[in-house]
With several copies, the nearest count.
Chain A
Amino acid sequence: MIEKVLVANRGEIALRVIRTCKTLGIKTVSVYSDEDYNSLHVKQATEAYHIGEAAPAKSYLNQEKILEAVLSSGADSVHPGYGFLSENDDFATLCEKNKITFIGPTAKSMNLCGDKMKCKEAMLAANVPTVPGSPGLVKDADDAKKIANEIGYPVMLKSVYGGGGRGIRIVTSDAELESGYESVTGESIAAVGKSAILVEKFLEKTRHIEYQFARDTHGNTVHIFERECSIQRRNQKLIEQTPSPIVDAKTRQRVGELVRNAAVAVGYTNLGTAEFLRADNGEFYFIEINARLQVEHPITEFVSGLDLVKLQIDIANGEPIPFKQSDLKMNGYAIECRINAEDTFLDFAPSTGPVPDVSIPAGPGVRCDTYLYPGCTVSPFYDSLMAKLVTWGQTFEESRTRMLCALDDFYIQGVETSIPLYKTILNSAEYKNGDLSTDFIKRYGIIDRLTEDLKREKEEKSLAAVAAAVIHSEYFKSRVQDKTNSKWSHRLE
């Protein structure tokens, strides 16, 4: 039985794990870097161990240091959160060797999930559709052409050594394929001296839809519904919601069945997420399994009523999942906005520094998981996620309007945030209509609309700004002129 958990993480997810442990009467051990000595996860754990310098490699990724803290604290288990060591099968192996319960899948299963080629093979064997394409590398242009004709144009030619738009080409015919094959090969050789090409069906206007699932050590497997995470920037999720506006009960069940097969195919245990691309024609294609708790798990908690961290601990304890697939009912609608410290207008560049003042939204159907408190600091050493703002409603409209109000109430002084962007998105007709795709922001010119929204907001606040400026200069004048002017004595600090 798990009685003392070391949380090998920081920020809001460490707090999230500690909270459930507290309700279960489980002791917690935090670890912290030099940068985090004043962080909430240090304050809220039963114990806290300093593990090194600010740079992740010297602290939160330092397996030896973390193991040392596990052993000296007497923790019997490790919760890795997400990021850092959460999908590192070496670390899972290290825990297994030291008889420490790793709250997650086995190292073996994690390794299989992490190897995209092997994982894809396992999925094909389990009849879980993946994006159509060559099973591996193609031999030459003719081989590529053969596959392209099997799966149908348009297809994507991808060098496995490419990335960031380089070594990639979309082609729509045999003729285009031939010239495309040459240029991708050329680009790849020019860049890294070698070339190796994959062919994949090119999908337009795709949605990112993923399924939460759980599997226990007794072989019971359930899916806990889908989450649509199509609103992204640079392949990073920004807004997630459940249910997806285009998943009906029948589809939910059909794809859910695939997800359960996928979990079995990789010998998974504990909580995981199966990610799919959903093509505009309605087909679902498996992409990968995230072998850990996801950032966006709270929306699933809202609609399922489950505490997913508790479920993780129960499964890690060897207990069977305490419900059947048919017991799960979806209740209402939930949305999550990832409140990032970033400047939307500087291509989402991180914005860091001290946060002298914060007000955190609350109210019916509002949950905010955050490490922020007045006087804290947003560190440049770690990721930009400051808070997860999650709302629930009986209807989608209720969850959406509650989110808009909560975004309005969220005050974070000192850093740029993604809050204004989310207001623009949530107010857009396309979002309201559920017309989502992974290129949503670009497709609908959201950044330009945001600029307009901010301008309008400024105009609305301009009288108050002018009044504040007038008062400020009067106050300043009174100080300069050294009048002990009684009119400023009223209600001043």
Chain B
Amino acid sequence: MNYKIQDTTKSFVAQMADNLGDGRYVISIDEHRHELEIIAMDSRGIEFVMDKKYHKVRYIGQSTNEMSMIVDNTSITLCLNSHLDDIVYKNSGGGSTGDAQLALKSQIPGKVVSVSAVPGDTVKKGDVICTLESMKMQVSVKSHKDGTIKTIKITESGTVAKGDVIAEIE
């Protein structure tokens, strides 16, 4: 994935390269390998030692293509390609043979940030139906097929559990 550091000219291609076990990973950034050991982690932040140097990161928020965090004492916003939406999309059947399925289900638990469709709307496969927020990240839920919205089962500001039906699409 591509990461651009806001307010600077820096941009990186990075990905997980290896899992060494015992909380140790190798991350490839611009084709250089960086060894990383996780010291503590939860949904709000992470502490790790990378290249022998300790860092404490707090996640402040994430929208579809921006992620804000405090690294040590520095506020940083990363601009990124929203890869996560795709994963959710694939998991919801969007990637394969989900056409026959009526219900569009939520793949994650979260809060409903916005609903982009109303019953009767004609939608295409991949159209955004709603946006959920979970773990301080915003994720779009896209239609898994072409069709017409039969019902919308969620409301703005409400919450959904994993597996809840978001909409029925005929």
Q: List residues of A whose CB falls within 8 A of some B CB.
A: 37-38, 42-49, 73, 357, 408, 410-411, 413, 419, 454-455, 457-477, 479-482, 487-488, 490-493
Known contacts A47-B53, A455-B7; A466 and B74 CB within 8 A of each other? no
Is there an interface contact between B72 and A461, defined as CB atoms closer than 8 Å? yes
Q: Which of B58, B74, B84 contacts A458 (CB 8 A)?
A: B74
Contacts of B114 in A (CB 8 A): none
Check A473–B42 contact: CB distance below 8 A: no
B83 neighbours in A (Cβ, 8 Å): 473
B50 at the A interface (CB under 8 A): yes
Does B88 interact with chain A (Cβ within 8 Å)? Answer: yes
Over the window 100-120 of chain B, the binary record of Cβ atoms lying under 8 Å from chain A Cβ atoms (1 yes, 0 no) is 000000011000000000000
Inter-subunit contact B41/A480 (CB<8 Å): no
- Is the CB–CB distance between A463 and B70 below 8 Å? no
A472 B39 Cβ-Cβ under 8 A: no
Question: B8 contacts A482, CB within 8 Å?
Answer: no
Q: What's the least CB distance linking B16 to chain A, in Å?
A: 5
Q: Are B76 and A462 interface neighbours, CB within 8 A?
A: yes
Identify whether the interface residues of B are mostly helix, strand, loop, or mixed.
strand
| Cross-chain contact of A469 among B36, B67, B107 (Cβ < 8 A) | B67
**How far is A410 from B55 in the complex, measured between Cα atoms in Å?**
15
| A-B CB proximity, top 3 nearest | A490-B23, A493-B42, A468-B57
Beyond A38-B39, A461-B74, A481-B87, whether A466 also contacts B58 by CB under 8 A is no
User: Which of A38, A411, A458, A492 neighbours the largest number of chain B CB atoms within 10 Å of its CB?
Assistant: A458
B150 within 8 A of A: no
Q: Which B68-99 residues have a C-beta within 8 angstroms of A?
A: 69-74, 76, 78, 80, 83-84, 87-88, 91
Assess the B27–A467 pair: CB atoms within 8 A: yes
B38–A490 CB distance below 8 A: yes
Note all chain B residues with C-beta closer than 8 A to A488. 41
Q: Is the beta-carbon distance between B91 and A467 smaller than 8 angstroms? A: no
Whole-angstrom distance between the Cβ of B52 and the nearest chain A Cβ: 4
Residue of B nearest to A474 (CB): B16
Measured CB to CB, the nearest residue on chain A to B78 is A469
> CB of B135 within 8 A of chain A?
yes
Does any Cβ of A come within 8 Å of B46's Cβ? yes
Please pick, from A37, A47, A464, the residue contacting B39 in the complex, using a CB distance under 8 A. Answer: A37
User: Is there contact, CB below 8 Å, between A471 and B70?
Assistant: no
B5 at the interface (CB under 8 A from A): yes
Q: Which residues of A contact B22 (CB under 8 A)?
A: 490
User: Which B residues from 7 to 64 make CB contacts under 8 A with A?
Assistant: 7-8, 10, 12, 14-16, 19, 21-23, 25, 27, 29, 34, 36-42, 46-50, 52-59
For residue B137, CB closer than 8 A to chain A, the reply is yes
B161 on interface, CB distance cutoff 8 Å? no
A186 to B: closest C-beta gap in Å: 45
Interchain CB contact under 8 A, A45 and B54: yes
**Which residues in B have their C-beta under 8 angstroms from that of A491?**
23, 38-41
Q: How far is the CA of A481 from the CA of B86 in the complex (A)?
A: 12
Task: Sample 23 A-B pairs with CB under 8 A, ordered by A number.
Answer: A37-B39, A38-B47, A44-B54, A45-B54, A48-B53, A73-B52, A410-B73, A458-B5, A461-B55, A461-B71, A462-B10, A466-B27, A468-B55, A469-B67, A469-B80, A470-B27, A473-B1, A479-B135, A480-B88, A490-B22, A490-B23, A491-B23, A491-B38
CA A459 – CA B57 in complex, angstroms? 15
Task: Write the nearest CB–CB distance from B134 to chain A, whole angstroms.
Answer: 8
Interfacial chain A residues near B7, Cβ < 8 Å: 454-455, 458
Contact of B124 with A by CB under 8 A: no
Is the Cβ of A466 less than 8 Å from the Cβ of B3? yes
| Residues on the A chain within 8 Å of B27, using CB | 466-467, 470-471
Cβ contact within 8 Å between B91 and A48: no
Q: Is the CB of A463 within 8 A of B50?
A: yes
B162 within 8 A of A: yes
Chain B residues, CB < 8 A from A480: 84, 87-88, 91, 107-108
Contacts of B87 in A (CB 8 A): 477, 480-481
B12 touching A462, Cβ below 8 Å: yes
List, in ascending order, chain B residues with CB within 8 A of A460's CB: 74
Alpha-carbon separation in the docked complex, A65 to B51 (Å): 18
A488: nearest chain-B partner, CB-CB: B41
Smallest beta-carbon distance B168→chain A, Å: 22
Give the distance in Å from the alpha carbon of A479 to the alpha carbon of B84 in the complex.
Answer: 11
Q: Which of A464, A469, A475, A479 is close to B41, meaning CB atoms less than 8 Å apart? A: A475
- Give complex CA distance A467, B3 in Å: 10
State whether B53 touches A473 (Cβ < 8 A): no
Tell me whether A470 and B14 are in contact in the complex, defined as CB-CB below 8 angstroms, given that A455-B8, A481-B91, A490-B38 are known contacts. yes
What residue in chain A is nearest B57 (Cβ atoms)? Answer: A468
For the complex, give the distance between the alpha carbons of A481 and B38 in Å. 21
Contacts of A487 in B (CB 8 A): 19, 21
How far is it, in angstroms, between the C-alpha of A357 and the C-alpha of B8 when the chains are bound? 28
Chain A's closest residue to B28 (CB) is A470
A408 with B73, Cβ < 8 A, contacts A467-B29, A492-B41 known? yes
Instruction: Tell me whether A476 and B1 are in contact (CB under 8 A).
Output: no
Known: A37-B39, A477-B84, A481-B87. 10 other contacts (CB 8 A): A42-B39, A46-B53, A48-B49, A410-B73, A458-B5, A464-B72, A467-B50, A471-B16, A477-B87, A480-B91
B120 to chain A, nearest CB (A): 30
A462 to B83 CA separation, bound complex (whole angstroms): 20
Q: A455-B7, A458-B74, A461-B72 are in contact. Are A467 and B41 (CB under 8 A)?
A: no
Least CB distance, A255 to chain B, in whole angstroms: 39
Give the complex CA separation of A458 and B38 in angstroms: 22
Which of A45, A49, A461 counts the most chain B CB atoms within 10 A? A461
CA distance A460 to B51 in the complex (A): 14
In the bound complex, what is the Cα–Cα distance between A469 and B25 (angstroms)? 14
